[in-house]
Amino acid sequence: MAAGFDPSGRLPDVFTNAGTSSFTTFLSRVAPEMLPGRRPLPPGMAADLAPHATTIVAISAVGGVVLAGDRRATMGNLIAQRDIEKVHPADAYSLVGIAGTAGIGIELMRLFQVELEHYEKIEGAMLSLDGKANRLASMIRGNLGAAMQGLAVVPLFAGFDLAARDPARAGRIFSFDVTGGPYEETGYDAIGSGSLFAKSALKKRYRTGVSIDDATRLAVEALYDAADDDTATGGPDLTRRIYPVVMTATAEGTRRLTEAETATIAEGVVAGRMENPGG
């Protein structure tokens, strides 16, 4: 008989009583060892023991926001994976991308998806975009112990704000630090090892009022520039047909660009750089 279950096979009361709208709070009471930040770790640094996800860029545009990520994961000086996916929908109107320890980041991202779905089921309403960012911040804060041992995860969160007064400016971007501090960004942002180069590229090219279509190309160009100077960031791989993951969040919801759409943009960027390598 499983621990906590009575002979009748009924679920324990904690599963049937009215509880919190936060799934992570519920999990911390029922099975805290299931949370990424609650697992015991051996002493010492562990940064080189797991693959790391790298560069993510976000760009706000008229009517929404674009989030894109390269496909490379590294472990020390080795390429651990060439086609990892670091950008995913958080819910119907928001997106999340991760940089840092890949395994913990993917787990944290999936837990965040469940957190938002659980809240909606319990409360019968969707969290505001600020509320989602704050929930994600608290989950990052719970991983602080592992982060101090080199297993840090830093996400980039973006979404369409359904409560925005001006739908044209409803695309919003939030960055975080390893302690869980949330910061709203203006226009664009990037995280990961190639973020310095990606943001430098966007600083020159980004203009307020850019369209979603133009923002998707800007995102791919920024990732190309990051890969050009950062060995941990993977550029478009035309040989293997591995391209960045590009997603949008608009009033119609979240959408991932198809492989064909991303290939067309990436191949156009590469062709342009053949004529002008500096962009």
Please name the amino acid found at residue 246: V
Q: Please list, in sequence order, all residues whose beta carbon lies within 8 angstroms of the beta carbon of residue 205, skipping any fewer than 6 positions away.
A: 218, 221, 222, 279
Selection from 207, 208, 244, 210 nearest residue 224 by Cα: 244
Print the SS3 string covering 61-83: ECCEEEEEECCCEEECCEEEECC
For residue 74, give both structure tokens: 């590294």
Tokens 């996800």, located at residue: 53
Catalytic residues: 54
> Distance (Å, rounded) from C-alpha 232 to C-alpha 156?
18
User: What token pair was written down for 34?
Assistant: 């299931």
Helix/strand/coil percent split, the chain, to 5: 40, 25, 35
HSE-up (13 A, CA, CB side) for residue 196:
5
User: Distance between CA 81 and CA 234 in Å, rounded?
Assistant: 10
